[in-house]
Structure 1
Amino acid sequence: MRLNELKLGGSAIIDHVEDHTAGDPVAERLRALGFVPGEPIRIVAVGPIGADPIAVGIGFTRFALRRAEAARVLLRDAA
């Protein structure tokens, strides 16, 4: 599952961030911000028009991502 498919209030574990090209700057930035394998993540809010952007929580930090950016983050079930 991808982060942009997770529903409001949903939780999961980050599996990895997908690179679109070698040295992908968006993927590198997401990893630098803490989108790393094994981190729990949850959807805390969505934008009013088209549910864009998505507000996600990792630990005590919140980030707003466009749906296209969130689609790069692959998840596994929180078990």
Structure 2
Amino acid sequence: FGTDFTQRMITQMYFPGDPLFSLDPIYQAITDKEARDRLVASYDHSLTTHEWATGYNWDIVLTGSNRTWMEDEEGDH
């Protein structure tokens, strides 16, 4: 949710080496290469479980200078 209960954020995450990048309208609409690259998750071996799950890291940054939103420590909204 965003600043109001009725507001929400929708985004897209991609996996490295996806052969369909050139066909994806959302990915192609972003002309800044660095911004586009931030939509691609990175493989993380420490999160991977052999023969079960492949682990990836993907950071979501909301507002400000590389800041991810969190509730304040007192629990106030």
What's the TM-score, normalizing by structure 2? Answer: 0.25
Structure possessing the higher relative contact order (Cα contacts under 8 Å, 6 or more residues apart)? 1
Which has the higher Rg, Structure 1 or Structure 2? 2
TM-score (norm 1): 0.25
